[in-house]
A and B are shown apart, each in its own frame.
Chain A
Amino acid sequence: MEMNIVEALNSALREEMRRDKRVMVLGEDVGIDGGVFRVTDGLLKEFGEERVVDTPLAESGIMGASVGLALNGMKPVAEMQFDGFFWPAFDQLISHASRYRNRTQGRYSCPVVVRFPVGGGVRALEHHAESYEAIYAHVPGVKVAYPSGPYDAKGMLKAAIRDPDPVVFMEHKKLYRAFKEEIPEKEYVVPLGKGKLVEEGDDLTVVSWGAMMLVAKKASKLVREKGVGCDVIDLRSISPMDDKLVADSVEKTGRLVVVQEGHRSFGAAAELIARMNDKAFLHLKAPPTRVTGFDVPFPFYKMENWYLPDTDRVVKAMRSVLKY
C-alpha cells in the first residue's frame, strides 16, 4: 500500500499499540485532534483515552512524566508539538531519561520515544523550523533517528518503540506529505543506527539525512549527467552514526560531501567528517566538506531559502571536492 510519512507513522503507532499494551501516546493535541499534523489521527478512537492522552500544555511535564511511566513499565511515545518547543523537555532528557540506565548501573532504564516535527522550508512561524539533531545526539545515552521517507519512517519508529533505551525521533515537516512509498503489508522493522546506500557511484560520496536527502539526490543526478558517479548515503540515524557505511564508501571514492540542514558549527556533519579522519584518512583524495545551514536562528520565511542548503550550493561543493 502506498503511504506518505504521516500515514506510515500512524500505521507504525497502530501496529505497535496493538502488539504491546504498554505502548501509549501522550502529548498536546494528540487525542481528539489527532496531532497538529494528524500523525496520531484515529488512535484515540481505537485505543481510548487511557492510552492516547491529551496532556496539559507542558513539555517538561510530558517528558518528565514519560520518564516515570517508563520507569514503571509503560512504553510512552511522547509527542512534542514542534521542534522549537522541545527545550523545556530537554532538561528531563539530558538530566534523567538519558542517564537512568547508567545512573543505576543497569537497574532501571528509560525506554521513552519522543517524536516531533522538525525542519524548515514550509513558511512557518518562528520556532517551527529547527533542525537540532546535533544537540540531541550530543547527549550521551540517547539515540537519534531522522528518517527521510515513508518506508524508513515506519520501520524506524517501530524499532524506536521496541528499543530498550530513549530515542529522539525527528520527523521533517516538509517530507510529511511530500511523496508516497510502497509500504509492505508484512510487518518490518528498520534498525536504528544503520544508514542506507541509496545510489552508487565511484567518484564521490554524498551523505545526508532528512529533507536534505532530496537536495543531495538532485545534486547527484545533475553531476551524474556530467559523468560523475556518486555514492549517496542516507544516514537515517544520527546516533548511533553508521560511520562504517560511510567509511567503506569513502575508501572507494576518496571524496566526501555532507549536506546538513542544521546550523554549520558543531553539527552532525562535523562529527561525521571527524570520524572519517579516524577511519578513512589514508583513502581521502580531498578534504571532506559540508554544505549546511548557517549559524543563525532559522529565519523568517522570506529568507528561509537563503538559509537552506540548495542544489546549487551542493553541486558547487561537489565540484570543489572533485577539482582538489
Chain B
Amino acid sequence: MALVDDFDPLKGKMLQILDKGGKVVAPKLEPKLPAELLKKIYYTMVLSRLADDRFLKLQRGGRIGTFAPSVGQEAAQAGSAAALENDDWTVHSFREQAAYLFRGLPLEKIILYFGGDARGNRIPDGMNVLPMAVPVATQVLHAVGIAWAAKAKKEKSAVMCYFGDGATSEGDFYEGLNFAGVMKAPVVFVCQNNQYAISVPRGKQTAAKTLAQKSIACGFPGIQVDGNDALAMYAACREAVERARSGGGPTLIEAYTYRMWMHTTADDPKKYRSSQEEEEWKGKDPIKRMRNYLAGKGIWSEEFEKETQQKALAEIDKAVKAAEAITPPKPDDLFDYMFAEITPELAGQKAYLKKALAEREIEEEQPEIKGGFP
C-alpha cells in the first residue's frame, strides 16, 4: 500500500514518522537514509535557520531589504527537496531558503535578491531551479507546464512546486492542479501550510478540513504530512516523485507546519496570534526533532553540532562578504535583458538615461522611508 492510501486526509490521518521529541513512532515507515543524506538535510536546516538569523540583522541594519523568513519550515523544505534528483525541477514561492539551499543555490544569490540586486535571480547554469515567484500561486501553473514538457520530451525528471496555505485560495492553484491531473503531469505539489497568510489563519482560507484533500476533486491523491518531521516529508515526497516519474501523475502534499517568525520583516505577528500558540509550536521545532533523531542514530553529538554550526556560520560570512563585494549594477542592466535584441525605442531610452546620469547637475535627496514596509 502506498502512503497516500494509508493516510487519507478525508479520514483525518496525517503522516508522522518522528514525534516532536524526535522518537520514531512509525518504524515500518522510517526511510533508511544513508548517514550522508541525513547530515545534509540537517546541515541545510541549520544553515537556513542561521541564515535567517543573519538576514534579520542585515535587514534591521539596512543592509538588505524586506525578506520572508523560513524559520520553522526547514524540515518541510529540506525534507522534500531531499527526495529529488539533480535533474528534477523546483518551482518556488518566496519563503524557501532551506529548499533553495538544499538544491544548491548559493546563499549569496539569496542575499543579493533580498538586497535589491537583480543578479540574485540569475540562477547558476545547470540547475533546474526557478527564481522566487512573488505573486501568490502564479508559479503553480509554471510547474505544471515544466512537468508537461518533461513528459512530452520523454525525460525522466519530475517537478516539485512549492507554495503556501494562502495560495490554495487562488484560482491559479485550482487551475494548476486540474491541468496536472488532466495531463498526468509528473509534478509534486508541496503546500507548506504554515497556518497563516500574513494575518489570516488557515481556517479562514477554506471551509475544507484539510488542504491535502483539494487534490481529490482533480483526480489525484493528496496527503497531509507533519511538516516539521523531515523524515515524513522525505518519505511522502519520495513516493510522490517516484509516482510522477513512472507515469502515475501528480500528488499534493500538505506539509503541516508553522511560520515561527513574522510574515516578512515588516510584519508584527503579535497583532494576530497569541504568544501561547507560538510557544506551543516552539516545542515542535523541526531542527530539535531532527537533532534528537540523529543523536539516536549515533550521528549527532555536541562536537558534531559545534562543527555544523561553525561550518554554517562560515558559509554565511562568506556569502555576505561576496554579496556585499559585488560590483554595483550598471544602467545598461535595466534595458539589456528586455528582449533578445533591444528595440530602437529602448535603445533610445538607455542612451537618454546614461547621458542624464553622466551630465547630472542636481542630486536627488532621498527622503527617509517612514513606516513599515510589508
Contact = CB atoms under 8 A, between A and B. Distances in A.
A132 interface: no
Interface stretch (A122-130, A153-161, A189-197): A122-130
Contacts of A307: 334
Main secondary structure of the interface of A (DSSP, over half): loop
Interface string B59-95: 0000001100000000000000000000000000010
Contacts of A305: 364, 366
Contacts of B333: 303
Contact of B117 (A84, A176, A300, A310): A300
A316 B356 contact: yes
Interface residues of B, number: 55
A61 B118 contact: no
Nearest to B67: A125
Contact of A296 (B116, B169, B170, B334): B334
Contacts of A33: 198-199, 271-272
> Could you say which of B272, B338, B373 has the most chain A C-beta atoms within 10 Å of its C-beta?
B373
A58 B271 contact: no
B116 A56 contact: no
A125 B66 contact: yes
Interface string B313-352: 0000000000000001101011100100000011001000
22 contacts: A33-B271, A33-B272, A56-B166, A56-B205, A58-B170, A60-B170, A60-B171, A61-B169, A84-B135, A88-B171, A122-B369, A126-B132, A128-B134, A177-B371, A296-B335, A299-B334, A300-B118, A302-B115, A303-B329, A303-B331, A307-B334, A310-B364
B353 interface: yes
B105 interface: no
A127 B334 contact: no
A222 interface: yes
Contact of A57 (B169, B329, B362): B169
The 10 A-B pairs of least Cβ separation, nearest first, read A301-B116, A33-B199, A56-B169, A57-B166, A36-B374, A177-B371, A312-B362, A177-B370, A310-B364, A300-B118
B360 interface: yes
Contacts of A28: 197-198, 200
Interface in A128-146: 128
A122 B372 CA distance: 10
A124 B65 contact: yes
Given A84-B135, A300-B118, A301-B116, A312 B328 contact: no
A124 B373 contact: yes
A31 B329 CA distance: 40
Contacts of B374: 36-37
A296 B132 CA distance: 19
B66 A265 contact: no
Contacts of B367: 178
Nearest to B360: A312
Interface of A: 6, 28-29, 31-34, 36-37, 54, 56-61, 84-85, 87-88, 121-128, 173-174, 176-178, 222, 264-265, 294-296, 299-307, 310-313, 315-316
Contacts of B198: 28-29, 33, 36
Contacts of A61: 169, 171
B331 to A, nearest CB: 6
B167 interface: yes
Contacts of A88: 170-172
B361 interface: yes
Given A56-B200, A306-B331, A312-B363, 12 more contacts: A29-B199, A33-B198, A57-B166, A84-B135, A85-B136, A124-B65, A124-B66, A125-B94, A177-B370, A294-B335, A302-B115, A302-B118
B259 to A, nearest CB: 14
Nearest to A222: B362
Nearest to B207: A56
A123 B360 contact: no
Contacts of B328: 302
B364 A311 contact: yes
B123 to A, nearest CB: 15
Contacts of A315: 361-362
B197 A296 contact: no
A304 B346 CA distance: 17
A33 B201 CA distance: 11
A294 B135 contact: no
B246 interface: no
B349 A295 contact: yes
B266 interface: yes
Given A123-B116, A315-B362, A32 B135 contact: no
A294 B331 CA distance: 12
Contacts of B310: none
B206 interface: yes
Given A222-B362, A299-B334, A303-B333, A58 B200 contact: no
Contacts of B266: 36
A6 B373 CA distance: 13
Contacts of A84: 134-135
